Amino acid sequence: MEETPSFYSLSETAVTVNLGSVVSPTVQARVQQLLMDLDNDPFQGYQESVPSYIGLTVFYEPMKIFGEERDAASEVISILKRRVKQIKDQMNASNGKHVTIPVCYDRDYGLDLDDVAKRNGLTRDEVIHIHTSGDYLVYMIGFAPGFPFLGGMDERIATPRHAQPRTEISAGSVGIAGGQTGVYPFTTPGGWQLIGQTPLTLFSANREVPSLLQAGDRVTFKEISKEEFLQMKVGKQ
């Protein structure tokens, strides 16, 4: 049964709408549909929307919102309620693009792969096979620009974050945190379990669309050798 959306004022310039309470491809599809609707047909005062697993935070300019009661937040919530009611649940995960990400799972890059395997009673090869067999949905982009939070990972390789994060993780590192997987777009601190690395650039300010992935995209991982990884890295230079 479809859940009733919830709306609340986050600040004087933002309203959050949640379209469900459980992370799922169906809820994510609705999130992407509402995001597309607002971006394609913005209301007066609309600035941008930031998607999450289950909803959107909508930012606006209060001085450009003119409700009868002069209450900007209430007016924006009324607008969003109408938009949510109007949109049809036609968007699904296949509307996003599909991206295959090559990954080298060599020990030089998969620093935690042995630990992930041991914790789950698997071999390294079994973890790699499971990880590359998945079809992942990009639920959202954060905590850093271009960082994809990917849902749909097999619970057989789920592993908690490190209790003590690393101070530096290389760009392209592929990690696991709980039941999700993701890719670090650039060198940054982080606590995810590292199982490999991709030579692809996930975020570049020099590209027309800086982030390689967007919420709603589908991702599969493809194993490559260390030699292939190094060749692809050299080819980018």
| Tally of CB atoms within 10 A around 231 | 12
> Does an H or E element contain 72, and which?
helix 72-86
Give dist(CA 85, CA 107) in Å, integer.
51
Q: pLDDT tens, 135-158? A: 999 988 877 889 999 988 999 999
Chain centre to alpha carbon of residue 11: 24
- Give the rounded percent of residues in the chain with a pLDDT score beyond 90: 62
The residue that leads in pLDDT, 96 or 222, is: 222
3-state DSSP helix/strand/coil % of the chain, to nearest 5: 30, 30, 40
Give dist(CA 182, CA 194) in Å, integer.
10
pLDDT surpassing 80 at residue 95: no
Six-digit token string for 67: 């409700």
Q: Comparing C-alpha atoms, which of 62, 64, 63, 58 is closest to residue 81?
A: 58
pLDDT surpassing 50 at residue 112: yes
State whether residue 116 is helix, strand or coil: helix
Q: pLDDT tens, 13-72? A: 999 999 888 888 778 878 888 988 898 899 999 999 988 888 999 999 998 886 555 688
Q: Position of tokens 């005062």? A: 45
Q: pLDDT tens, 67-76? A: 555 688 999 9
Are 21 and 29 contacting, i.e. CB atoms less than 8 angstroms apart? Answer: no
Q: Where are the beta strands (DSSP E) in 152-228?
A: 166-169, 173-177, 180-183, 188-190, 193-197, 218-224
pTM: 0.74
